[in-house]
Structure 1
Amino acid sequence: MTNTAQNPELRLHLNWRCDRHAPYGDRQRAVIDHTTRQKARDTISAWPGYQPTPMLELPDLAQKLGIARLRIKHESRRFTLKSFKALGGAYGVMRILERETGLGIDAIMAGDAKEQVAGVTVCCATDGNHGRAVAWGAQLAGARCVIYLHEHVSQGREDAIAAYGADIARIDGTYDDSVRQAAEDAETNGWIVVSDTSWPGYEEIPAWVKQGYTVCMGEAMEQLGDDRPSHLFVQAGVGGLACAAIGPVWEDWGAERPFCAVVEPHEADCLYQSAVQGHMANGLGSLDTVMACLSAGEASPLAWAILETGADAFITIDDHFSPDAMKTLAVSQTDPRMVVGESGCAGLAGLMAVAADPLAREAMGLGGDADVLLIASEGATDPAIYQEIVGMTPDEVGETQ
């Protein structure tokens, strides 16, 4: 059923292509499978500063939302980058350098190929977090890095990227314009694009990036053990995190996986439109959203290979749910207090939107016995924007440790 619930605040599409008993097939394994997930986990867990991010329980908020249980995987403590993106962008850089030098990643990290690595330039377009991850990975290995930012990326996010030694190129227009410019300049200059967006002829590197992202869900599945959730709400821009979360639970848990809902802003709805139209489609929104790191008008074909039949529902939400979710997590007196950025809390924002809509709740089976898992995918990656929205600095929130 299309648009089971549709109002100014929430749109819901139940995905009729999702057969929960269908096997995880070759099309999906070409993007993410056990072997590539394990390689990413083995590689990333050996990096300096690695530790699994925590999973927090929020019983008071669960009660307020009318569900039995709420758990949140908290990515704000991921290395020094405060975002799950550290897993994908940096891993993509390392796999590129492995390919270019013929050496293993351990040897590259040990400095055994400094001259070869220094001769490699990687680049990407970003709304913020992916660019930080690519710049960080390049800095770790000693490669040169150029990051493309569109006109709406904040100065705070630019400064955070530049702090990792990257050169910055500002581009007029949207995120998708910056993606195209980065690709053109890379072709001209012999650079290597590190993108989590794929296109025909460019799939290997975006697949590596997504495989890096799976470390987050791999940790979560271990933390959950046999205590599996009934629902997973996961936010999406081009779909990288969503496919890296849904792919592993589909491959490992099959029909016993949670009901998986993909959450986007109203104004950046490329996956929702793809699901509704039955094929890859551009978003119809303006791309002007407070959830800036989700502001993508074109989905990744590699992500769509998993989400097209692996996601149970696609929803879009009004922007006001994101600040509401940020404040809810920041001011709790009983649950753990959490500092989560405007894009990182989109999964919770989607849950809040559905919980407030009886028709949507019924359509998604979100009853009083629901056990929901979310991924808080970023912390305050731009502290100034965070303070403007929440009314407190991250330090004033006093996040529960």
Structure 2
Amino acid sequence: MFLLNRHPDHRQPLAEEDAATLGLAGAEEAGRFLAARDNHAETPLHALPSLAAELGIGALHIKDEGKRLGLGSFKALGGAYAVMHLVLEEAGRRLGRAVAVEELPKAEVKAIAAQMTFACATDGNHGRSVAQGAGLVGARSVIFVHSGVSNERVAAIARFGAEMVRVAGDYDQSVREAARVAAERGWIVVSDTSWPGYERIPGLVMQGYTVIVREALERLPEPPTHVFLQAGVGGFAAAVAGHLAIALGNARPTVTVVEPARAACVYETAKAGRPVTIAHSKPTVMAMLECYEPSLVAWRVLSRIGDAFMTVEEEDAVSVMNRLARPAGDDPAIVSGESGGAGLAGLIRAAGDNKVRAALGLDANSRVLIINSEGATDPGRYAELVGMAPDQVANARQPA
């Protein structure tokens, strides 16, 4: 399915609060927080000339967030960033002065953090980030996971010291349960989705993601003309698209939002022109994108700067995993998890459809940016789908 944005807000400026969250100053602050962390190396940006030629476009670059902060996902930038921010704010209130990120290791700040509990719901990656962030500052974390989250992903979160709570049902039900229990017990919910009256913390999570764009723009030979961004609740797509729009202004790229056909809440929201909750379908292999209700903040951004919305099928996601693991020509091998390559799956599907190509202005001069949003966050599942272990792929062929 493919849909151009017909919303009356399309191409209107971002709302003032969203421009502040996703703007240059916010991205700079997120960068400062990142620099204060161990293992904060910039993630690689790969050129894939062979695949670009095959798709009939001028250039294709993939930013590989599978290398981010040892967590294997772009979400390492969001939840942990919000946790650190909230601890510093609380420390500032209690100490009666501004507290800098460099002060997080100090005993007086650690003592305050130790009295704070952070909770969230997750499909896997966001929970790892919140748990890691809480561990970094010495706070407690309680992570709610639904029945579809694999035991391997649960164990990966628990390794950071989080208390794990299983919830019957799907992701959206786990979000509601996390919010209910946190309200009862005075915990702080760090969610990557937003709802009426709860926007600021998801905004901080999104602000953390702007680091990806800053790094990419510094490395790209020319700014992209197109981006294909995968969406679950839409926060990642909105953060990347929003910062690109602010950084590049009228030269911003055409933004296409890509979702699994089985969980296309942002697509259906775009179709309806307002946020909608969709019916549950069969589980999708793109488990990190399996969401049935969009983030309100994300939709407010995407209604303005999302130019098109589309869906991809289960086999598209698996095909991309295999294509990146076994590249053609001199393209590098990239480990991409089940949800990580959904944006590329969207590009491949769009490039193969003449009507969609024309609608998006995809041609031999197009410069496309894709974000590989996760590596093999469930190595066993990855090996099952690709026929190779993640380490085999990672060591197969890398650029000189």
- What TM bracket, shorter-length normalisation? over 0.9
Cross-structure match for 2:6: 16
Contact 1:287-1:295 within 8 A present in 2 as well: no
Please give the TM-score of this superposition, normalised by the length of structure 1.
0.94
Map of 1:84-233 to 2, 5 A cutoff? 84-102=74-92, 103-224=99-220, 227-233=222-228
Contact 2:23-2:247 within 8 A present in 1 as well: no
- State the distance in 2 between where 1:18 and 1:38 align: 31
- Percent of aligned pairs sharing the same letter: 46
Aligned length: 390
* Paired letter, 1:326: M
| CA pair 272-174 structure 1, distance change in 2 beyond 3 A | same
Please give the TM-score of this superposition, normalised by the length of structure 2.
0.94
* Paired letter, 2:311: T
Cross-structure match for 2:263: 268
Map of 1:2-401 to 2, 5 A cutoff? 11-17=1-7, 22-102=12-92, 103-224=99-220, 227-284=222-279, 286=281, 288-333=283-328, 334-397=330-393, 398=395, 400=398
**Segment of structure 1 superposing worse, 238-247 or 357-366:** 357-366
Structure 2: unaligned runs, 5 residues or longer: 93-98
- State the distance in 1 between where 2:388 and 2:45 align: 24
Contact 1:210-1:241 within 8 A present in 2 as well: yes
Describe the superposition over 1:41-81 as per-residue Cα deviations: whole angstroms up to 9, x where unpaired: 11112211112111100011111112121100111111110
Cross-structure match for 2:95: none
Root mean square deviation of aligned Cα: 1.6
- State the distance in 2 between where 1:164 and 1:346 align: 28
Give the Å deviation of 1:244.
1.1
* Paired letter, 2:174: S
Describe the superposition over 1:171-192 as per-residue Cα deviations: whole angstroms up to 9, x where unpaired: 0100000000000110111111
- State the distance in 1 between where 2:127 and 2:310 align: 27
**Segment of structure 1 superposing worse, 363-372 or 73-82:** 363-372
Contact 2:13-2:304 within 8 A present in 1 as well: no
Give the Å deviation of 1:18.
7.5
1:253 partner SS: helix
Give the Å deviation of 1:287.
5.8
Contact 1:273-1:284 within 8 A present in 2 as well: no
1:341 partner SS: coil
Cross-structure match for 1:4: none
| CA pair 135-287 structure 1, distance change in 2 beyond 3 A | farther
Give the Å deviation of 1:141.
0.8
- State the distance in 2 between where 1:290 and 1:266 align: 11
Give the Å deviation of 1:202.
1.3
- State the distance in 2 between where 1:264 and 1:370 align: 22
- State the distance in 1 between where 2:22 and 2:336 align: 27
Give the Å deviation of 1:25.
4.4
Contact 2:145-2:171 within 8 A present in 1 as well: yes
